[in-house]
């Protein structure tokens, strides 16, 4: 076991840090619902939609309407260079996400997108 000795705190940072922490706490508490929970929008990349399609296909519960809606969403997020970002506004990552999303969507029977194909 390693025993560490308390380090002396830089007291000049304690005030601003405590103020920032209080502002963050107040902001989060202001977003909290009266019942005690928070709700926010979760943005993810298209692989979640593609994996959802694939899971629905494996479970035998996928519908044509779900497939078409997911395929439209996946295609709408495709960038001009044919890739998808790992997160909103994210940089290009060499096509790995492109292959994953397109492959899963194709495996689930997703329709072609507006750019000449879901994997074009």
Write the DSSP string, 52-113: HHHHHHHHT---HHHHHHHHHHHHHT--TTS---SSTTPPP-TTHHHHHHHHHHHHTTPPP-
At 101-111, the pLDDT tens digits run 666 566 555 54
* pTM of this structure: 0.49
What would the two tokens of residue 41 be? Answer: 């929008």
- Sign of dihedral through CA atoms 41, 113, 109, 100? negative
First and final C-alpha spacing in the chain: 56
At 40-79, the pLDDT tens digits run 877 778 888 888 988 999 999 999 999 999 888 888 888 8
């Amino acid at each position: 076991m390693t025993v560490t000795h308390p380090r002396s705190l830089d007291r000049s940072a304690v005030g601003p840090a405590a103020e920032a922490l209080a502002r963050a706490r107040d902001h989060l508490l202001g977003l909290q619902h009266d019942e005690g929970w928070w709700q926010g929008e979760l943005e993810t990349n298209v692989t979640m939609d593609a994996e959802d399609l694939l899971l629905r296909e494996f479970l035998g519960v996928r519908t044509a309407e779900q497939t078409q809606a997911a395929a439209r969403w996946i295609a709408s997020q495709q960038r001009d260079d044919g890739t998808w970002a790992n997160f909103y506004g994210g940089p290009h990552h060499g096509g790995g996400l492109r292959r994953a999303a397109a492959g899963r969507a194709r495996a689930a029977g997703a329709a072609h997108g507006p750019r000449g194909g879901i994997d074009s």
